[in-house]
Homo-oligomer: A and B are copies of this chain.
């Protein structure tokens, strides 16, 4: 078996292990050793690939946010023109990213963003993209698309936060946000 091409696999394994470990611990207080062990390699190798703990965390963040983007994009791709908003909401609660571990990690990344400028930048990108998607989807369906987008975005985050406190269990999350959306659009008439 060729040992070539191990690097991408190793990196992916470390990123996945990071999310799982943060999710399991419910905290950023995870050691590189724990992450590496979960990924089946030595901590020295983790350093070798990523350079340091901070970069491992950032890679994990990028992974989660990328996954989220993909979910929303795929939902939008197959959405009827008048159903874009619903598609975004459903994509936000896709089970790909709506796992307890991911939710916990996501919350912790908000914390990380308070210290780490790069982490904050990543989160802002995500927020901006979500916002722009929402504005676009609300255009013509409510009086003030910008304000509406802010409300929906905050509602999504708020729902995630509640889920984080309840071990990731939150049935009816998408339905609740859809309801808010309906109310906003109904208020137009």
A contact set with B: CB distance below 8 Å: 25-29, 104, 107-108, 110-111, 113-115, 120, 123-124, 127, 147, 150-151, 153-159, 161-162, 164-165, 176, 179-180, 182-184, 186-187
Q: What are 18 A-B residue pairs whose CB atoms fall within 8 Å in the complex?
A: A26-B114, A26-B115, A28-B111, A107-B114, A110-B165, A114-B165, A127-B165, A147-B179, A151-B176, A151-B179, A151-B180, A154-B158, A154-B161, A154-B162, A161-B161, A180-B180, A180-B183, A183-B184
Given known A147-B176, A187-B182, contact A27–B114 (CB-CB < 8 A)? yes
By the criterion CB–CB under 8 Å, are A158 and B165 in contact?
Answer: no
Bound Cα distance A110, B27 (Å): 10
Bound Cα distance A154, B108 (Å): 18
Q: Enumerate the 8 nearest inter-chain pairs by beta-carbon distance, A residue then B residue, closest first.
A: A26-B114, A158-B158, A154-B158, A157-B158, A183-B187, A183-B183, A26-B115, A157-B161
Q: Which residues from B are CB-within-8-Å of A184?
A: 180, 183
Tally of this chain's copies: 4
Tell which of B120, B158, B176, B187 touches A156, judged by Cβ atoms closer than 8 Å: B158
Bound Cα distance A25, B124 (Å): 19
Bound Cα distance A19, B120 (Å): 21
CB distance from A23 to the nearest CB of B (A): 9
Bound Cα distance A153, B170 (Å): 14
By the criterion CB–CB under 8 Å, are A111 and B115 in contact?
Answer: no
Bound Cα distance A170, B186 (Å): 27
